[in-house]
Structure 1
Amino acid sequence: MALSPIPLPDSLNYIGLFLTLECNLNCSYCINDPQQLGRRNALFPMDGKSARKGLTPEQWVAALRRLPFRPGLPITLQGGEPMLYWGGQGLGLILSQVPHYFDLLTNFALKPEVFARYLNGQQAKLQRDAPYPSIRVSYHADEMNRAWNGRGFEALVARCEALRDYGFRISPRKADSDVGIYMVEHPQNRVTAEMKAAYEGRVPFETKEFLGVHDGKLYGRYLYPFSTDLIARGIYPTTLQCECRTTELLIDPMGFVWGCHYYLYEGWSHGGPLREFAALEQEGFRYARHGARIFAGRAMAPVGHLLDPDFAMAELEVFRPCKQYGRCIGCDTKIKNDRFQSYYDRGIPHTSVQIRNIHMPADLLGQIDNLEQTRRFFSATAKEGNAHE
Structure 2
Amino acid sequence: MTLPSLQLPDTLNYIGVFLTLECNLSCSYCINDPQQAGRREILFPIQLKSLRKCLTPAEWAQAFNRIPYRQDLPITLQGGEPMLYWKSRGLGMIMSETSHYFDLLTNFALKPEVFAGNLNGQQRKLQRDAPYPSIRVSYHHEEMNRAWHGNGFTELVNRCEALRDYGFCMSPVKAESDVGIYMVAHPENRVTAEMEACYNGRVPFETKEFLGIHEGKLHGHYLYPFSTDLMARGIYRSPLSCECRTTELLIDPLGFVWGCHFYLYQSWITGGPVREFEELEAQGFRYSEHGAKIFASHDLVPIGHLLDPDFSISDLETFRSCHHYGRCIGCDTKIKNDRFQSYYDQGIAHTSVKIRNIQMPSSLYGKIDNLEQVRQFLSHPLPAKDHAQD
Q: TM-score with structure 1 length normalisation? A: 0.96
Matched residues in 2 for 1:146 and 1:357: separation? Answer: 46
Deviation at 1:198, TM superposition (A): 0.8
User: Which residue of the partner structure matches residue 219 of structure 1?
Assistant: 219
User: Which residue of the partner structure matches residue 62 of structure 2?
Assistant: 62
User: Which residue of the partner structure matches residue 350 of structure 1?
Assistant: 350
CA contact (8 A) 1:23 1:46 kept: no
CA contact (8 A) 1:92 1:122 kept: yes
Deviations 1:187-211 (A, max 9, x none): 1111111111110111000000001
Deviation at 1:387, TM superposition (A): 5.1
User: Which residue of the partner structure matches residue 171 of structure 1?
Assistant: 171
Pair 1:360–1:173, CA change in 2 (3 A): same
Deviation at 1:50, TM superposition (A): 5.4
User: Which residue of the partner structure matches residue 264 of structure 2?
Assistant: 264
CA contact (8 A) 2:77 2:105 kept: yes
CA contact (8 A) 2:45 2:269 kept: no
User: Which residue of the partner structure matches residue 156 of structure 1?
Assistant: 156
User: Which residue of the partner structure matches residue 116 of structure 1?
Assistant: 116
User: Which residue of the partner structure matches residue 228 of structure 1?
Assistant: 228
User: Which residue of the partner structure matches residue 10 of structure 1?
Assistant: 10
SS in 2 for 1:87: coil
User: Which residue of the partner structure matches residue 133 of structure 1?
Assistant: 133
Deviation at 1:299, TM superposition (A): 1.3
User: Which residue of the partner structure matches residue 298 of structure 2?
Assistant: 298
Q: Over aligned residues, Cα RMSD in angstroms? A: 1.3
Deviation at 1:336, TM superposition (A): 0.8
CA contact (8 A) 1:15 1:249 kept: yes
Matched residues in 1 for 2:108 and 2:365: separation? Answer: 44
Matched residues in 2 for 1:360 and 1:47: separation? Answer: 38
Single out whichever of 35-44 and 133-142 deviates more from structure 2. Answer: 35-44
User: Which residue of the partner structure matches residue 200 of structure 2?
Assistant: 200
CA contact (8 A) 1:22 1:45 kept: no
Deviations 1:305-360 (A, max 9, x none): 00001100111011111000001001100111101121111111111000111100
SS in 2 for 1:146: helix
Equivalences for residues 275-290 of structure 1 within 5 A? 275-290=275-290
Deviation at 1:15, TM superposition (A): 0.3
Deviation at 1:41, TM superposition (A): 1.6
User: Which residue of the partner structure matches residue 80 of structure 2?
Assistant: 80
Name the aligned partner's letter for residue 171 of structure 1.
S
Name the aligned partner's letter for residue 222 of structure 1.
Y
Matched residues in 1 for 2:206 and 2:353: separation? Answer: 26
Which ranges in structure 1 are unaligned for 5 or more consecutive residues? none
SS in 2 for 1:186: coil
Deviations 1:124-176 (A, max 9, x none): 00000011100000000000000000000000000001100000001111011
CA contact (8 A) 2:245 2:318 kept: yes
Deviation at 1:259, TM superposition (A): 0.2
CA contact (8 A) 1:358 1:388 kept: no
Which ranges in structure 2 are unaligned for 5 or more consecutive residues? 383-390
Matched residues in 1 for 2:238 and 2:46: separation? Answer: 32
Pair 1:386–1:362, CA change in 2 (3 A): closer
SS in 2 for 1:311: coil
Matched residues in 1 for 2:186 and 2:270: separation? Answer: 26
Matched residues in 1 for 2:45 and 2:125: separation? Answer: 30
SS in 1 for 2:367: coil
Matched residues in 2 for 1:121 and 1:49: separation? Answer: 32
Deviation at 1:44, TM superposition (A): 2.0
Q: Identity percentage over the alignment?
A: 72
User: Which residue of the partner structure matches residue 182 of structure 1?
Assistant: 182
Deviations 1:62-91 (A, max 9, x none): 100000000000000000000000001000
Matched residues in 2 for 1:261 and 1:342: separation? Answer: 22
Pair 1:206–1:96, CA change in 2 (3 A): same
User: Which residue of the partner structure matches residue 326 of structure 2?
Assistant: 326
Deviation at 1:373, TM superposition (A): 2.5
Deviation at 1:270, TM superposition (A): 3.8
Deviation at 1:46, TM superposition (A): 8.0
Deviation at 1:297, TM superposition (A): 1.1
